[in-house]
Amino acid sequence: MITKYTFGQPINTGATVKQIPVQDEFHTGKLLSKWPFNWEYTLAPQDKVFGLGENMRGINKRGFKYTSWCSDEPHHDESKSSLYGAHNFILIFGKETFGLFFDTPSRIDFDIGFTKSDVLSVSSQDTGINLYLITPDTQEKAGLLNIVQQFRELIGQSYIPPFWAFGFQQSRWGYKTEQDILDVVQKYKELNIPLDAICMDIDYMEEYEDFTIDKSKFPDLKALSQKLKKDGIRLIPIIDAGVKVKEGYSVYEEGIKNDFFCKKADGKTPYTAGVWPGRSHFTDFFNPKARLWFGKKYKVLTDCGIEGFWNDMNEPAMFYSDESLKYVSEKLKNTDISNLDINSFFEFSGLGETTKNNPNDYKLFYHNVPENPDDPESPSKLYRHDQVHNMYGALMTKAAAEGMKQIAPGKEILLYSRASTIGAHRYGGIWTGDVNSWWSHLEQQIKMLPSLNMCGFLYVGSDIGGFSYDTSRDLVLRWTALGIFTPLMRNHSANGTRLQECFRFEHPEDFKSLLDLRYSLIPYLYDEFVKCAKENKMMFKPLCFEYPEDKIAAETEDQLFLSDQLMIAPVYKQNASGRYVYLPEPMTKVLWQNSKPSLQKMEKGIHYVDVPLDSVVFFIRNNQSVPLCKPAVSTEFIDRSEVNILS
Ligand code: MIG
């Protein structure tokens, strides 16, 4: 059952698709203050708290504090409380079991047994909250899956990408020209390694201007895209949130003419911040007309045969603003460097960093927020950006999705974004941003998957091999072995780091074997994905969602059920030749090596399982089976008619 309560002056975020009548009194836990919202709940020793989508730490979020504030956060480490997404759904499991969705575009803080180990507290002070309390309709499996299902019904069906989006994507911030891309494709071809897409990072644009193509590097994008498509390979260009301020640049000029950019407090001056193109303006995606305008701009690329996009920098990330630069420059001018004491030295040396995503900058511009998010004629109210911050990236994705309906009607388009909030799960997927080439980050990605699924994000994946820093061959292999199972499977890395495409390492045939497994599984993965989207189910489930009474399952966070048929137990430690795996029921172990499966029945219990570096191990659940088709070099060439059923 779902009940709804309101606090403060909630904004219609469009996150939900069902009408629920509002109740007066919220009796769960202790409401310390209605507004600013301040709520507490006493956690029993056994209580676990799940949810919060894209975030650090465990599947059980207990023991730390989290803040929903979409952040350009390349330094994911355990001290961080916010990443790119703001996913305000929590699921409490224990003495009482219920879900809560805090529908707000504003910052909201979750202290989950951090300040006091037995207190969960939630607080927020800008705008308002539509709060949904979800209690189980069944006691089956402690009601956990039921609560998620009810919640997902409330927020509407998750985005379903085209079939080819389950193919392997190769990306690199560093492909600069058509030739760079052709070289990568050629290498994959030579080695017979499957490939479905190449991502185009910001260097394809002219001076990082959205919706431009640098002709000196890509003389004929349409011809390139057609040529590649013959081999079943598609291009996926990036689009950044900021629009370059430049006379003569049509996107800038149209945006100004139509008043589509966010403005400062004076209501006149467009807000300016520095991102990749230099000084840029930001489209007011809250304005339905501006949204459609921006969305239709993708036509420059769809006209070239492009069928997929990734939206970046849409928290929005800001390297600097006019204001923050001025502050730093004045500080520098006024600093007497002839005699710095140690505190002034640290302030001085840290000055440059203070301009990046500076909290003050988010208070300098405004949005016109319509009462009805989809109706440009509905009355609107002005909000300062920081009060509605968490919707910005989500609305950029919505802009692209709305644009596609007009510029590519009837076509399935792949969309994924960096920033997101619940609601955006209906318009596109997400990738989990700038993870480092660290084993700990591989582990983190395993734990994020079920949390993202709870919040409606099904088309998800991480940068295979890690984005920042130099990777190692074994890390790419182990990360690929996880990526085989995630809907978005993309190897991506940062400019200046070690090259990490599959063909860069010794024994590329080991990578081929892994990708052969992916392609053998794609029809199965895609069908399960569609089922999970349509039936509001999680594709990745923590063990305890199926075995809520099982003590070991309850604390196993590095294994996941994949839909109803499989269990995965990725290796995420360097130099490990295998790992301990807990089987809460008898299963069949599948060892995939040299592009072939071998099967072994296993009893319930804890086992040490060998997982050689060139292999993948996964488990078929009791009385279940999984169809494998023949591997293909692209999803275009997958033959679904011939399958090998493993059980
Ligand atoms: O400031 O476009 O997360 O995937 O390669 C960095 C360059 C901007 C951040 C994205 C990353 C992408 C990079 N972008």
Q: What is the pLDDT of residues 557-583, one digit of tens each?
A: 999 999 999 999 999 999 999 999 999
**What's the number of CA atoms in the CB half-sphere (13 Å) around residue 15?**
28
User: Is residue 632's pLDDT more than 90?
Assistant: yes
C-beta of 126 in contact with ligand 1 (< 6 A): no
Atom number of ligand 1 nearest to Cα 201: 2
Q: How many residues does the chain have?
A: 647
SS3 content of the chain, % helix, strand, coil (to 5): 30, 25, 45
Q: Are strands 429-431 and 460-461 parallel, antiparallel or unpaired?
A: parallel
Q: What ranges make up the beta strands (E) of 400-448?
A: 414-417, 420-421, 429-431
C-beta of 202 in contact with ligand 1 (< 6 A): yes
Q: How far is the CA of 570 from the centre of ligand 1 (A)?
A: 27
Q: How far is the CA of 199 from the centre of ligand 1 (A)?
A: 12
For residue range 427-454, list pLDDT tens digits in order.
999 999 999 999 999 999 999 999 999 9
C-beta of 532 in contact with ligand 1 (< 6 A): no
Q: How far is the CA of 446 from the centre of ligand 1 (A)?
A: 22
Question: What is the mean pLDDT of the segment spanning 475-487?
Answer: 99
Q: How far is the CA of 497 from the centre of ligand 1 (A)?
A: 13
Q: How far is the CA of 206 from the centre of ligand 1 (A)?
A: 16
C-beta of 431 in contact with ligand 1 (< 6 A): no
Atom number of ligand 1 nearest to Cα 495: 5
Confidence of residue 339 (pLDDT cuts 50, 70, 90): confident
C-beta of 485 in contact with ligand 1 (< 6 A): no
C-beta of 72 in contact with ligand 1 (< 6 A): no
Q: How far is the CA of 88 from the centre of ligand 1 (A)?
A: 25
Q: Find, among 369, 488, 498, the residue nearest to 431 by Cα.
A: 488
C-beta of 418 in contact with ligand 1 (< 6 A): yes
Cα-based torsion angle of the residue sequence 161, 191, 492, 595 in order, rounded to the nearest 10 degrees: 60
Q: How far is the CA of 57 from the centre of ligand 1 (A)?
A: 23
DSSP type of residue 159? P
Among protein residues, the one with the nearest Cα to ligand 1's atom 13 is 173
Q: How far is the CA of 60 from the centre of ligand 1 (A)?
A: 29
Q: How far is the CA of 444 from the centre of ligand 1 (A)?
A: 20
DSSP-based three-state secondary structure for 517: helix
User: Is residue 504's pLDDT more than 90?
Assistant: yes
Burial of 28 (0-12, 13-18, 19+ CB in 10 A): middle
C-beta of 433 in contact with ligand 1 (< 6 A): yes
Q: Are strands 489-491 and 463-464 parallel, antiparallel or unpaired?
A: parallel
Q: How far is the CA of 242 from the centre of ligand 1 (A)?
A: 13
Q: Give CA–CA dist 366/364, Å, rounded.
A: 7
C-beta of 307 in contact with ligand 1 (< 6 A): no
Specify the pLDDT at position 562. 98
Kindly report the average pLDDT of the chain as a whole number: 97
CB atoms within 10 A of CB 359: 9
User: Is residue 388's pLDDT more than 90?
Assistant: yes
C-beta of 516 in contact with ligand 1 (< 6 A): no
Question: What is the mean pLDDT of the segment spanning 18-26?
Answer: 96
C-beta of 364 in contact with ligand 1 (< 6 A): no
Atom number of ligand 1 nearest to Cα 418: 3
Q: Give CA–CA dist 78/83, Å, rounded.
A: 11
Question: What is the mean pLDDT of the segment spanning 263-269?
Answer: 96
Q: How far is the CA of 313 from the centre of ligand 1 (A)?
A: 7
Question: What is the mean pLDDT of the segment spanning 532-544?
Answer: 98
Assigned token pair, 461: 């994946």
Q: Find, among 535, 534, 546, 549, the residue nearest to 619 by Cα.
A: 546
C-beta of 161 in contact with ligand 1 (< 6 A): no
pLDDT above 90 covers a percentage of the chain that reads 99
Confidence of residue 478 (pLDDT cuts 50, 70, 90): very high
pTM of the entire structure?
0.98
Among protein residues, the one with the nearest Cα to ligand 1's atom 5 is 173
Query: Which of 201, 239, 318 should be mutated for ligand 1, with most atoms under 8 A from CB?
Result: 201
Note the helical H segments in 241-337. 250-257, 288-297, 299-302, 322-333
Measured over the CA atoms of residue 628, residue 584, residue 63 and residue 2, the dihedral's sign is: positive
Question: What is the mean pLDDT of the segment spanning 223-231?
Answer: 98
Say if residues 189 and 222 touch (Cβ distance below 8 Å).
Answer: no
Q: Find, among 297, 179, 332, 312, the residue nearest to 240 by Cα.
A: 312
Specify the pLDDT at position 623. 96
C-beta of 312 in contact with ligand 1 (< 6 A): yes
Query: Which of 276, 313, 432, 497 should be mutated for ligand 1, with most atoms under 8 A from CB?
Result: 313
Specify the pLDDT at position 498. 98
User: Is residue 522's pLDDT more than 90?
Assistant: yes
Atom number of ligand 1 nearest to Cα 310: 4
C-beta of 434 in contact with ligand 1 (< 6 A): yes
User: Is residue 238's pLDDT more than 90?
Assistant: yes
C-beta of 173 in contact with ligand 1 (< 6 A): yes
Q: How far is the CA of 312 from the centre of ligand 1 (A)?
A: 7
For residue range 155-197, list pLDDT tens digits in order.
999 999 999 999 999 999 999 999 999 999 999 999 999 999 9
Q: How far is the CA of 386 from the centre of ligand 1 (A)?
A: 23
Question: Which residues does residue 414 pair with via DSSP β-bridges, in sequence order?
Answer: 308
Nearest-5° angle of CA 221, CA 224, CA 226? 110
Among protein residues, the one with the nearest Cα to ligand 1's atom 8 is 313
Question: What is the mean pLDDT of the segment spanning 373-397?
Answer: 96
Question: What is the mean pLDDT of the segment spanning 595-622?
Answer: 98
Q: Find, among 398, 565, 540, 387, the residue nearest to 456 by Cα.
A: 540
C-beta of 277 in contact with ligand 1 (< 6 A): no
Burial annotation 46-62 (CB, 10 A radius, 16+ → b, else e):
ebbbbbbbbbbbbbbbb
C-beta of 203 in contact with ligand 1 (< 6 A): no
DSSP-based three-state secondary structure for 468: strand
